[in-house]
Amino acid sequence: MLVLGIETSCDETGVALYDSDQSDQGVNQGLIAQVLHTQVALHQQFGGVVPELASRDHVRYIQGLVQTVMQEGDVEWQDLDGIAYTAGPGLFGALLVGATVARTMAWMLKLPCLGVNHLEGHLLACMLEQEHPTFPFVALLVSGGHTQLIFVKAFGQYECLGQTVDDAAGEAFDKVAKMLGLSYPGGPAVAKLAMQGDPTRFVLPRPMINRPGLDFSFSGLKTAVSQLLSRSDIDPHDQQTKADVARAFEEAVVDSLVKKCMRALQHTRCDKLVLVGGVAANQRLREDIALKTEKIGASVYYPRLSYCTDNGAMIAYAGCQRLLRGERDQGFAIEVRPRWPLEALS
Ligand code: KG4
Ligand code: ZN
């Protein structure tokens, strides 16, 4: 089944073609083509995503991207077997753009169409790699809007083991970046600066780490950074100090995430861990997880960096799996779900 996938939930317009009949072929595992337009430059001047501008930018680029992906994949309209789009969670207006384009095209081409859960897309992005896990596995989903540990028992069977009680890890990276005068998106900028930082100069708290359970909290850590930067004995404008703070912050986030991942593996007696979402691109997190999982004989899987952040490939893949199961949008109403928890899926 050849599926066109469309992602417009936030600040990336992603379009991809996935063919399940080629799913065991080569490094691309059935991914025929994918294109992405990022809005980072557009939102940078505002220090974060401006929803209305995001919607308008999706409108501006989406049709061109669909045409490009069809050309790059050497696919004709009549070759398509279905269309999938992100129906939520995400920004209402941004989601509506992808949903409208997908449903209109599907109607014109008389194809089945399906709204996909963005988080399920992230979870299953690892399946697009040649070396992918088999079910069941534990997934750490860490993005700008979510920080969750999920027990993926089978396709569509997701048990939330723990989640953040306040800020998402990516959100904390973005807020700390602002405090350090770094540009949006903050994660990569903080990580880059932290590379020059001394990990022993400052030690920040690891919220909830000594409490039982698998929930996270990052808002206290953000406050601790702000208090540290306003201490009278440090110069918050000194480049080395900023790097040391970035390093202490990154260490604290990574430590919290890794400890809870290990606890989740123990709790589920599972030996496979998958890291997905934008923060999974973080190099220190990857290194630390690799070290700790190796110690207990567990395997860790990460999608390539371009599948960690938002993309159309994961939506084409997840959509294809559900379309193959016979799921389809019904009626003509175009609906999106800005809030749509993973546990609601089956
Ligand atoms: O999954 P994603 O692209 O978008 C959603 O939130 O759905 O994740 C974006 C988040 C941002 O908060 C960004 O700062 C963070 O991922 N991020 C990183 C890194 N690269 C992206 N955080 C830490 N280290 C990175 N290298
Ligand atoms: Zn995402």
User: pLDDT tens digit string along 297-343?
Assistant: 999 998 888 898 899 999 999 999 999 999 999 999 999 999 999 99
Which residue puts its alpha carbon closest to atom 23 of ligand 1? 187
188 lines ligand 1 (CB under 6 A): yes
Identify the band that residue 16 occupies on the pLDDT scale cut at 50, 70 and 90: very high
Identify the band that residue 185 occupies on the pLDDT scale cut at 50, 70 and 90: confident
Mutation test residue for ligand 1: of 91, 143, 249, the one with most atoms within 8 Å of CB? 143
Residue 211: per-residue pLDDT: 83
pLDDT surpasses 90 at 114: yes
pLDDT surpasses 90 at 111: yes
Distance CA 49, CA 67 (A): 26
278 lines ligand 1 (CB under 6 A): yes
pLDDT surpasses 90 at 139: yes
Q: Tell me the CA–centroid distance for residue 279 and ligand 1, in Å.
A: 4
Identify residue 58 by its one-letter amino acid code.
H
Q: With CA atoms as reference, report the closest residue to 98 among 62, 57, 48.
A: 62
pTM: 0.93
281 lines ligand 1 (CB under 6 A): yes
Q: With CA atoms as reference, report the closest residue to 311 among 15, 11, 4.
A: 15
Q: Tell me the CA–centroid distance for residue 18 and ligand 1, in Å.
A: 24
> If you average pLDDT over residues 108-115, what whole number do you get?
98
Residue 117: per-residue pLDDT: 98
Residue 207: per-residue pLDDT: 82
Give the dihedral sign, CA 319/322/323/329: negative
CA distances from 127 to 84, 317, 340 (A): 17, 8, 22
Q: Tell me the CA–centroid distance for residue 211 and ligand 2, in Å.
A: 28
120 lines ligand 1 (CB under 6 A): no
Ligand nearest to the CA of 303: 1
pLDDT digits (tens, 9 = 90+) for 240-257: 999 999 999 999 999 999
pLDDT digits (tens, 9 = 90+) for 64-83: 999 999 999 999 999 999 99
> If you average pLDDT over residues 216-226, what whole number do you get?
95
173 lines ligand 1 (CB under 6 A): yes
Q: Tell me the CA–centroid distance for residue 21 and ligand 1, in Å.
A: 32
Mean of the per-residue pLDDT values of the chain: 96
pLDDT surpasses 90 at 47: no
Q: Tell me the CA–centroid distance for residue 84 and ligand 1, in Å.
A: 23
309 lines ligand 1 (CB under 6 A): yes
Q: Tell me the CA–centroid distance for residue 93 and ligand 1, in Å.
A: 21
Q: Tell me the CA–centroid distance for residue 31 and ligand 1, in Å.
A: 23
Instruction: For residue 51, list its beta bridge partners.
Output: none
Residue 209: per-residue pLDDT: 84
> If you average pLDDT over residues 170-176, what whole number do you get?
95
Token pair for 57: 């930018």
Identify the band that residue 108 occupies on the pLDDT scale cut at 50, 70 and 90: very high
Residue 235: per-residue pLDDT: 95
Judge whether 18 and 321 are in contact, CB under 8 Å.
Answer: no
Residues recorded for the chain: 346
- Specify the ligand 1 atom closest to the Cα of 9: 7
Identify the band that residue 27 occupies on the pLDDT scale cut at 50, 70 and 90: confident
18-22, long-range: CB within 8 Å, 24+ apart, which pairs? 18/128, 18/313, 18/316, 18/317, 18/319, 18/320, 20/320, 20/321, 20/324
**pLDDT > 90 in the chain, percent:** 90
Identify the band that residue 193 occupies on the pLDDT scale cut at 50, 70 and 90: very high
- Specify the ligand 1 atom closest to the Cα of 171: 12
